[in-house]
Amino acid sequence: MNRVGVVNRAVNIPDIGDAENVEVIEICVAAGDEVAENDALIVIESDKASMEVPAPFAGTVSKVHVALSDHVNAGDLILHLDAAAEVAETAPAPPTVVADDEPEQAEAQAPSAAEQPAPQTQAGAPSSRVYAGPAVRRLARELGVDLAAVAGSGSGGRVVKEDVKAFVKQTLATPARASLAPVQEVDFARFGTIEIKPLTRIRVRGAAALRSSWQHVVHVTQHDEADVTDLEEFRASLRDEAAQQGAKLTPLPFLIKACVHVLRAHPQFNASLDAGVTALIHKRYYHIGMAVDTEVGLVVPVVRDADRKGLFELAAETARLAAAAREKKLTPNDLQGGSFTISSLGAIGGTGFTPIVNAPEVAILGVARLATKPKWDGSTFQARKMLPLSLSYDHRAINGAEAGRFVADLVATLSDIRRLVL
């Protein structure tokens, strides 16, 4: 039964996945403002993307509890809204926040402090026996850290996120890396006027992730060209049909379709190495990442279950993700779980490049600008549309012959898309 009146309700930070200490980069409302359901309240920026926090119900802002540059976590108070009683009573409760570092419910009991070996003797032990929660294991995989080498400071010797981060900092400061000459500080102001523009959080964290990937992944890049003349003619013939379904059919959906087709035949490319580099973890799902250039940096949203989507569905989904990335409306789920990534320069230019593997994935496809070139057909030269492809891969997981076969199959598939139905 609804009651007439106004109820003051708290609005908290919703579930933001495994992101922590995200920064408030924009406050969209002030006390006294009236907001509708799903209006943006604040914009937060994690290591991977910026995202708006929408109002869960309509009301009037009575008090804002956050400020610019504050760092917040899931469940933290944003503001209070005065809402109609009937709305307040039916509005969903703030999401339940589960601590990321809760220990896993495994058969093995947590080892006692006496059973914890010293960090230098742990390196040979399987990380699966380490007492750590799922979020900690995920962080360790992303940073390339063997949990068996990390000393736990939590209850019962449990490894927490701070232990992993401290381990990485200590490792980077070890004498083994001291052989790398430090970057020299230069006072550029001595030579003329300068302007200092701080990098966005996404660019800073992206740079750290790229450096980590470059240091840990043994990169090799394979280059080739695909004759996509027939594909482009087919795409043009579908343009009106796609428009009727509200989709713009770019080359990207075809690339995703072709990659999934070839990944099925070469499953080692849809995989990740375990932390000890002793096993390859094959993924039975096809979540394809797509690099998107935004004003705050490069973002890689993920097209989930790409193998289950048709061309028009892929066109709609890639357009949605690209728009959400540029409008800072990506959700944590949009950014997680990728198994293979495509980085396309589209019409920007270039004849090829060497993309950096998006670890913990083992391969990434770079696509440069399509160009019309003469191609010999056995008796004469024909003008054909050629698409440059650059496959970077982790040589620890994939050898050159395997990469060569993958690229050859991808070129054949793009050159004759009828292969997609085989």
SS3 call for 298: strand
CA distance 259 to 261: 5
Whether cis (ω within 30° of 0) applies to the bond prior to 253 is no
CA distance 265 to 405: 10
The first and second tokens of residue 263, run together, are 């990944």
Amino acid at residue number 105: Q
C-alpha torsion 340→345→351→355, nearest 10: -40
The first and second tokens of residue 322, run together, are 């690209």
For the annotated catalytic residues, the residue numbers are 395
CA distance 114 to 110: 11
Q: What angle do CA 414, 419, 422 make, to 5 degrees?
A: 155
Question: What DSSP character marks residue 204?
Answer: H
Residue 392, H or E segment: strand 381-394
SS (H, E, C) 28-64: CCCCCCEECCCCEEEEEECCCCEEEEECCCCEEEEEE
Of 207, 110, 100, 93, whose CA–CA distance to 161 is shortest?
A: 100
**Rg of the chain, C-alpha, whole Å:** 25
Q: Which residues on neighbouring strands pair with residue 211, listed in sequence order?
A: none
Q: From residue 212, give the alpha-carbon distance in Å to each of 142, 201, 391.
A: 9, 17, 19
Of 41, 106, 109, 102, whose CA–CA distance to 76 is shortest?
A: 41
SS3 call for 394: strand
C-alpha torsion 292→294→297→302, nearest 10: -30
Q: Where are the alpha helices (DSSP H) in 123-250?
A: 134-143, 161-172, 175-178, 201-216, 229-237, 239-244
- Cβ contact 356:219 at 8 Å: yes
SS3 call for 288: strand
